[in-house]
Structure 1
Amino acid sequence: MQPTVASLWRYPVKSCRGESLARVEVEPWGLTQDRRWMVVDPAGGMVTARELNGLLVVHPTLTDDGLRLTVPGAAAVDVPLPDPTAQVPISIWSSRLTAADAGDGAAAWLSEVLGREVRLVHLDDPRRRPTSPTYSEPDDRVSLADGYPLLLTSRASAEAVSAAAEAPVPMHRYRPNLVVEGTEPWAEDTWRRFRIGDVTFRVVKGCARCVMTTMEPDHDAGTVARGPEPTRTLARLRRFGKGVWFGVNVIPDHPLPTGATIAVGDPVEVLEAVEPGTPPIGSSARERQPP
């Protein structure tokens, strides 16, 4: 059975609510408009739902002029695309770069909602941020995702975790960009290159999972619940080296065809793979883990 694309997801603001898409354009640094905005502290440091869980219930919607932010119990705010000349220094893990500040209105709204002084920035040009050189090529670029342009997961792997866990773990907790179906559990660990439509992707590293997978947002109530799953089950099934692993990071091959798009239902052609049972790339305790 040939794998197919089961769902596509993008996250306009890093750590905020995502949106499901039927079709989307692929850019060298990820899905178009994926994680191009980010919340930062007053010094420009990355702020995520790992520390401010309430980000998960902030609902960003892309508009013709920029972004609209909504959250239960508060009036919406419209954020225009900031002036790209208004650059400020920001940091995201080991990356140091600049982004455009989104202004005092967005900062005040988010600070009130989150209960902490923060600002919003927009990465107008993702070519400023290279991926980690340990697992990629010199010309690879990424937006404001943690490390690589896209995260791929599979329904079979998620179902295997849910079957072993105390309660089912919904796919949205893993925050993927690309979900595939029609595979065996953990088949994605073995993939090295695959093609969807006109786009070829490289699998460059497995994904060591953090506390964000344990958070379940209630978008109607505007609350976030915490629990032990799926970390508890992944620690039994998927512990390699010092981490627990689910999903793989992928990078589009370049140059990309002009206007390259992928869609739900597209077949996934695996071009290169290794032996089943091979641990995720980067999961060996002997391998250096980039920040």
Structure 2
Amino acid sequence: MKKKIVWFFALMMVVCTLGACGGKSVADQDIAKTSREKNQIVWGVKYDTRLFGLMDIATGEVRGFDIDIAKALTEKMLGRDGNAIFVEVTSKTRIPLLKNGNIDAIIATMTISEERKKQVDFSDVYFDAGQSIMVQKDSPIQSVNDLGANNTVLAVKGSTSAANIREHAPDAKILELENYSEAFTALQSGQGDVMTTDNAILLGMAASNPDYKLVGGTFTNEPYGIAINKNQENFLNEVNQALKEIHEDGTYDEIYQKWFPDDETGKVEE
């Protein structure tokens, strides 16, 4: 009996220690304050998204537009000696990691939506994402408005892309493929005239295949924002102020031009 009591109290001490005996959890701490104390901001980023966050196997570093924006924001918020720490997230894990306090913010091609706003707060828009179309460089098609009954649009099954095309180009034929790779292969083989999905995905494809380009800008509105945990207004305000400053001093334009030199469909104008 005594042994059970001893073990019970030992267990309670461990639980109390891990839970800080009812004190603030990591996720509840003032991130604006702790980031200055630690001189670092921990960013959740993608490691598998070309142009935005992609692991460079040769160097072991993650590179992309999101990464450079995060570094610029860190410098504005903490100074030149501030450290931007990157943690890999996926679309599935990014919000749980933020809510648990494993990361301070998410900058990972995350669309601002009303549903997500129930769980997190968002910064101002930093990339103007939306659905677009990609064609061969010599194509006469210049926008979604040019698509008619003689055109075939390639989209991915299960996405909203096909529904959006039906709304914006109701006469066009639609061929739905299993994934982006199959859709692009179909475009290359002439099975369709255009491929459609988010401009961020198409920009990555066009960057690796110079015979193709995006045209007509975006025809849906799905802007990317930086996600921050609820009740972190100080940190959110600092992120938005830093975003404003990198627009004003030209840093944002330099980073955008670095990653998207031939396209401005996603550029945010301050």
The TM tier, using the shorter chain, reads under 0.3
More strand by share: 1
TM-score by structure 1 length? Answer: 0.22
Instruction: Give 1 or 2 for the bigger CA radius of gyration.
Output: 2
TM-score by structure 2 length? Answer: 0.23
